[in-house]
Amino acid sequence: MHRGTPLEHADHAKALRLAIAGLENGDYDRLAYVWEKTFCLMPLGQSGERAVQERALQLLEALIPEAPRALRPIYEQSLRLTFDAMSRRR
């Protein structure tokens, strides 16, 4: 919607704060589906802080066994792609 404009990243800090709050207050653990948890972790993966990115990777990796068996290869590939993208940003 705001691609290529100053507004493109305007809400990243807010999204990161909300995601971290959800991890800390237990909202993340109460999410029922793996895809909801994955969506919640997206701001962590986009953070510029290495420790936050590492936490995202650990949490994404922990989701793989929770995913339906047929979807696990997709989650594994997503983890690899996320790791690769984060490695390039360092």
pLDDT digits (tens, 9 = 90+) for 11-35: 888 999 999 999 999 999 999 999 9
* pLDDT for the residue 90: 59
Number of CB atoms found within 10 A of residue 6's CB = 7
Give the span between the Cα atoms of 8 and 71, in whole angstroms. 31
Q: Which two tokens stand for residue 85?
A: 């993208």
* pLDDT for the residue 71: 93
* Rounded mean pLDDT for each run of 10 residues along the chain, 90 residues in total: 72 92 97 94 87 92 94 90 74
Closest by CA to 75, choosing from 85, 88, 66, 84, is 66
DSSP state of 10: T
Please tell me the pTM assigned to this model. 0.80
Query: CB of 44 within 8 A of CB of 20?
Result: yes
